[in-house]
Amino acid sequence: MELVILDTPEAIAERAADAIEELLTAKPDAVLGTATGSSPLPLYDELTRRCEAGRISFARVTGFMLDEYVGLPEGHPERYATFMERHLRSRVDMRPGALHGPDALNPDLQAACEAYEAAMAAAGYCDLQILGIGADGHIGFNEPGGPLDSATHIDVLTEQTRRDNARFFDGDIDAVPTHCITQGLGTIMKARKLVLIATGENKAEAVRQLVEGEVSPQWPATVMQNHADALVLVDPAAASLLTAARP
């Protein structure tokens, strides 16, 4: 695992975009895994700038989202399919329909999980997976306590996660869905490269566990310690609890 501490979200975005630009230069038809939330937004802005400048192209890229809420209707502004369309797909030259997500509107959610895992397997899984991290150490929506080798599955969101995400729902925790479909930790680990972004003091304990803790289901992101190519990009606040941090 490579840890890099950078001063600003913009610097983090540039470093993450460099990794994606390197991938797309070598493999224009790459499979890219996308994440939602606040952490990757500066990255999507930077990727948009580079696409507009002609440095990179998403024209042949296939994308797979990490997760999706269960219970939000199609077109809801906080559905992750809507989020990714708004913040990345529509802003670059990615083909309509090239960015896939789990079908959380399917009445048979287990079948939706299996179909999504099969689609990723058919694509060869992700060449690069973008990740954020929750304050409780979740990646994707893999909440603490789940198996470290899980495939795409239905998960129940913890109160902490719902409280953290209430800011996207006008502060109303009751409006935050209770269930989701998420890539499993085993699915995420099949990506050839992982790029995790974490900023802010509220992520400091999760980052400490990720980098210095034992691999444990109680801190799901720690499974990344077993990955051959994982890049962790953090700001000084998120790195503040590390005992051996070096910029």
Looking up tokens 């540039």, which residue turns up? 14
Q: How far apart are CA 28 and CA 80, in angstroms?
A: 25
Q: How far apart are CA 228 and CA 87, in angstroms?
A: 29
Active-site residue among 143, 155, 164, 235? 143
Query: Is 138 a residue of the active site?
Result: yes
CA angle 236, 238, 244 (to 5 degrees): 70
Active-site residue among 136, 155, 164, 235? 136
Active-site residue among 46, 87, 117, 138? 138
Query: Is 136 a residue of the active site?
Result: yes
Question: Which strands make up the sheet holding 128-131, listed edge to edge?
Answer: 2-5, 230-234, 193-198, 128-131, 31-34, 62-65, 99-100
- Written as one string, the DSSP assignment of 118-175 is HHHHHTTS-SEEEE---TTS-BTTB-TTS-TT--SEEEEPPHHHHHHHGGGGTT-GGG
Helix residue ranges per DSSP H, the chain: 9-26, 41-52, 80-87, 109-122, 159-165, 185-189, 204-212
Query: Is 143 a residue of the active site?
Result: yes
Q: How far apart are CA 207 and CA 183, in angstroms?
A: 21
Active site residues: 67, 136, 138, 143
